[in-house]
């Protein structure tokens, strides 16, 4: 949006951060620490902000050798071009990540032990990258809560607007300087000035089907992270005249179930060792095999004649198995046993392979089963190089198919940025006052390596926040065109918690270990040693996962009179936190320690 003299500012800040995920939280924190008054906005409603950081494992990359780490990255980039200055700046910062954790969080990071030989051990110096963590456990929301806490400790300097998407950047027509952001806040378009800088940290485009097809060349991918990354950062960057890069790069974890939902279940099934072991394989659209089922997950990248690439997705792939395999999985006792049993409940059954092929529109399924049976008797899988000991010839029917989808973790494309996280135009010149942080336009050209997005959001968030906060020249139009009344534009962030009352034979329990930032609070009523009632007084877990799990857990606990019930698939973290809260409430009710 081009600025003109008739435009009136509804609010004026030093810095506006677009996107309250991990990178946005980091950028806002460091901008505030550099004495900037910050507005932090997100398109998601309160409780669903956090972007993909909310769902991330929480490990970040670390190394102690600049030369080795740079050489490793260069190998993973080849033959893609990269910015040497941006890469060197990133590598230098990765070497300081342990000190970063101590200085800015007061935490001694610990080695996770994951991928000790690197995600690509075939490359030289792969073992130089070691993942570290500042939180206990992984994939439990703990890392996101750590970043969010830093923002909420600075609410005197940071205002937050939820459910407030950025509509346009506001740009000076002569200097191309970004002056502010047009934001839809509470249904009203607001023009918000940014005296020193605007930071785009609004994530990728994995939830924008048009962009997925245009930039990734894939027909349909199932997001396994946030549902709010819809590519708005791409539109804003293009409007401002930015050069895009890395638009074809994304990562995934292979497959999810196919129910036609925005976020599908069982996102990590490719890692379940007991699943693809026996008379079972993955069939493409025509029924033939195209995917090495037992290959190590490298964020979706598959071996391809000496390289690793993201395979073109099939439109309706299926897991195929015989009755012996079905029975084997039904009695599985691995750590994923509950999820595997739920996965089986989606199986399509047929008396013969020919009948199954018709049911799933896979005309070459019979040929694929015959080939699989032949290969299982050989010394190795001559087609996909699957470990032969995991292959068993198909036996008698009935036979089964489970519809699956290729999934997507996040995209990397966005505006090209330099080592200062400044956004560059088509001539590779800096667009004044425009910055970028996080997975939107990060430096990874291809072959995403685990723990690097977390490192990047901490690094780029800090760099962008500090540089955007640096005082720029005073722009006269801010003072001249500001509105006089802004009382209805207050921060929506709250730090107070409600007090809950427990009566006779009741206890209050809470847990901060759910996926959401707001604690789960319950009230339990006891009748002697019996659980008479469980009330959920407060929770803002993800509506389509944790929110649905809590009623299921409540009923199971009341029916079985114990908190030792099965976790709800896809909501393991919420399930664990809910049990903690109920256990605490029961203990209080029995001990008369209600509060």
Instruction: Judge contact between 424 and 243, C-beta under 8 A.
Output: yes
The position carrying tokens 């099965």 is 566
What is the model's pLDDT at position 542?
Answer: 75
Give pLDDT, residue 241. Answer: 98
Supply 504's token pair.
């006779």
Instruction: Report how far apart, in Å, the C-alpha atoms of 555 and of each of 106, 506, 515, 548, 566 are.
Output: 41, 18, 21, 12, 12
Residue 5 placed within a domain: no
Residues 321 and 427 in one domain: no
What does the pLDDT look like over 14-28, one tens digit per residue?
999 999 999 999 999
**DSSP 3-state assignment of 278?**
strand
pLDDT (average), residues 276-299: 96
What's the predicted TM-score (pTM) here? 0.89
**Pair 192, 12: CB distance under 8 Å:** yes
Last residue of a domain, one of 406, 438, 468: 406
In a domain, 87, yes or no: yes
Q: In terms of domains, do 398 and 415 share one? A: no
- pLDDT recorded at residue 594: 40
pLDDT(579) > 70: yes
End position of a domain, from candidates 379, 406, 433? 406
pLDDT of residue 25: 98
The pLDDT of 153-169, averaged and rounded, is 97
Contacts of 250 (CB under 8 A, 6+ apart): 204, 206, 216, 221, 300, 310, 408, 409, 410, 411, 412, 448
The answer to whether residue 140 scores a pLDDT higher than 90 is no
Whether residue 97 is found in the same domain as residue 219: yes
Domain housing 571: 506-591
Considering only residues 512 and 454, tell me which one the structure prediction assigns the higher pLDDT: 454
Q: Tell me the C-alpha distance between 222 and 593, whole Å.
A: 47
Over the stretch 40-65, which tens digit does the pLDDT of each residue have? 999 999 989 999 999 999 999 999 99
Check which CATH number belongs to the domain holding 178 and give it.
3.50.50.60
Could you tell me how far CA 206 lies from the centroid of its own chain? 10
pLDDT digits (tens, 9 = 90+) for 192-234: 999 999 999 999 999 999 999 999 999 889 999 999 999 999 9
Distances (CA, A) of 563 to 68, 530, 556, 567, 586: 50, 12, 8, 10, 10
Classify residue 346: in a domain, yes or no: yes
Which helix H or strand E contains 166, and what residues bound it? Answer: strand 166-171
Confidence tier at 493 by pLDDT (50, 70, 90) = confident
Residue 1 domain-assigned (yes or no): no
Say yes or no: 308 and 356 in one domain: yes
Q: Is residue 269 assigned to a domain?
A: yes
| Cα–Cα dist 177/429, whole Å | 12
Of 319-328, 356-365, 459-468, 475-484, the range with the lowest mean pLDDT is: 475-484
Do the domain assignments include residue 100? yes
Residue 486's pLDDT band (cuts 50, 70, 90)? low
Domain count, the chain: 3
Indicate whether 88 and 167 sit together in one domain. yes
Domain co-membership, 116 together with 32 = yes
Query: Are 306 and 399 in the same domain?
Result: yes
User: Per residue in 386-407, is it b (16+ CB within 10 Å) or e — as a string?
Assistant: beeeebbbbeeeebbbbbbbbb
Residues 513 and 452 in one domain: no
pLDDT reported for residue 572: 82
Of the pLDDT bands very low, low, confident and very high (cuts 50, 70, 90), residue 339 is very high
In the chain, the percentage of residues whose pLDDT exceeds 70 is 96
Using only C-alpha atoms, what is the Rg of the chain?
26
Lowest mean pLDDT among 74-88, 368-382, 566-580: 566-580
Domain CATH code at residue 364: 3.90.700.10
Is residue 496 a part of any domain in this protein? no
Q: Provide the pLDDT confidence category of residue 477 given band limits of 50, 70 and 90.
A: low
Q: Is 120 exposed, middle or buried (0-12, 13-18, 19+ CB in 10 A)?
A: middle
Regarding whether 150 and 235 lie in a shared domain, the answer is yes
Task: Give residue-wise pLDDT tens across range 506-530.
Answer: 999 998 888 777 889 999 999 999 9
For the chain, how many residues are written?
595
Rounded Cα gap, residues 552 and 520, in angstroms: 15
Residues 397 and 415 in one domain: no
Last residue of a domain, one of 406, 421, 447: 406
In the predicted model, is pLDDT for residue 316 greater than 90?
Answer: yes
Domain shared by 168 and 225, yes or no = yes
User: How do residues 126-135 score in pLDDT, each as one tens digit?
Assistant: 999 999 999 9
Q: Is residue 498 a part of any domain in this protein?
A: no
- Answer yes or no: do 324 and 472 share one domain: no
């Amino acid at each position: 949006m081009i600025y003109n003299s008739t435009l009136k500012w509804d609010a004026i800040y030093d810095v506006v951060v677009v996107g309250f995920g991990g990178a946005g939280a980091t950028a806002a924190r460091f901008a505030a620490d550099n004495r900037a008054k910050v507005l932090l906005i997100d398109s998601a409603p309160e409780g669903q902000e956090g972007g993909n950081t909310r769902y991330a494992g929480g490990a970040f990359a670390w190394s102690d050798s600049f030369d080795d780490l740079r050489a490793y990255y260069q190998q993973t980039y080849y033959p893609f071009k990269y910015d040497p200055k941006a890469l060197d700046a990133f590598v230098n910062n990765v070497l300081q990540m342990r000190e970063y954790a101590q200085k800015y969080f007061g935490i001694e990071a610990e080695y996770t032990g994951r991928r000790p030989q690197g995600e690509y051990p075939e490359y030289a110096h792969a073992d130089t990258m070691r993942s570290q963590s500042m939180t206990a456990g992984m994939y439990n929301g703990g890392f996101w809560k750590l970043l969010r806490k830093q923002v909420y400790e600075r609410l005197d300097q940071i205002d937050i607007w939820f459910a407030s998407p950025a509509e346009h950047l506001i740009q000076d027509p002569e200097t191309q300087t970004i002056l502010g952001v047009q934001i839809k806040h509470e249904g009203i378009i607001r023009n918000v000035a940014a005296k020193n800088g605007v930071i785009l940290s609004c994530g990728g485009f994995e939830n924008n089907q048009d962009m997925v097809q245009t930039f990734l060349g894939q027909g349909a991918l199932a997001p396994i992270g946030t549902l709010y990354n819809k590519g708005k950062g791409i539109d804003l960057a293009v409007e401002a005249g930015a050069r895009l890069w890395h638009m074809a790069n994304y990562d995934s974890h292979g497959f999810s179930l196919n129910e036609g939902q925005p976020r599908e279940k069982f996102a990590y099934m490719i890692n379940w060792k007991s699943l693809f072991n026996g008379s079972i394989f993955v069939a493409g659209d025509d029924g033939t095999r195209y995917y090495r089922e037992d290959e190590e997950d490298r964020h979706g990248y598959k071996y391809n004649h000496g390289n690793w690439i993201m395979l073109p997705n099939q439109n309706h792939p299926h897991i195929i198995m015989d009755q012996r395999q079905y029975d084997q999985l039904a009695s599985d006792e691995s750590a994923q046993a509950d999820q595997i049993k739920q996965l089986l409940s989606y199986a399509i059954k047929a008396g013969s392979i020919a009948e199954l092929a018709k049911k799933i529109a896979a005309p070459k399924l019979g040929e694929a089963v015959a080939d699989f049976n032949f290969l299982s008797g050989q010394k190795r899988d001559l087609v996909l190089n699957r470990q032969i000991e995991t292959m068993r010839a198909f036996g008698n029917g009935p036979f089964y198919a489970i519809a699956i989808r290729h999934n997507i973790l996040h995209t990397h494309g966005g505006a090209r940025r330099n080592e200062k996280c400044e956004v560059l135009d088509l001539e590779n010149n800096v667009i004044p006052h425009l910055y970028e942080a996080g997975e939107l336009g990060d430096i990874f050209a291809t072959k995403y390596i685990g723990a690097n997005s977390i490192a990047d959001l901490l690094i780029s968030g800090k760099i962008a926040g500090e540089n955007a906060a640096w005082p720029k020249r005073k722009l006269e139009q801010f003072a001249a065109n500001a509105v006089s009344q802004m009382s209805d534009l207050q921060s929506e962030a709250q730090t107070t918690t409600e007090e809950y009352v427990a009566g006779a034979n009741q206890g209050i329990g809470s847990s901060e270990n759910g996926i959401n930032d707001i604690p789960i609070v319950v009230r339990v009523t006891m009748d002697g040693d019996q659980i008479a009632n469980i009330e959920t007084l407060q929770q803002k877990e993800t509506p389509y996962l944790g929110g649905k799990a809590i009623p299921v857990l409540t009923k199971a606990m009341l029916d079985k009179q114990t908190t030792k019930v099965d976790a709800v698939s896809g909501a393991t973290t919420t399930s664990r936190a809910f049990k903690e809260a109920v256990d605490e409430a029961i203990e209080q009710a029995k001990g008369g320690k209600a509060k």
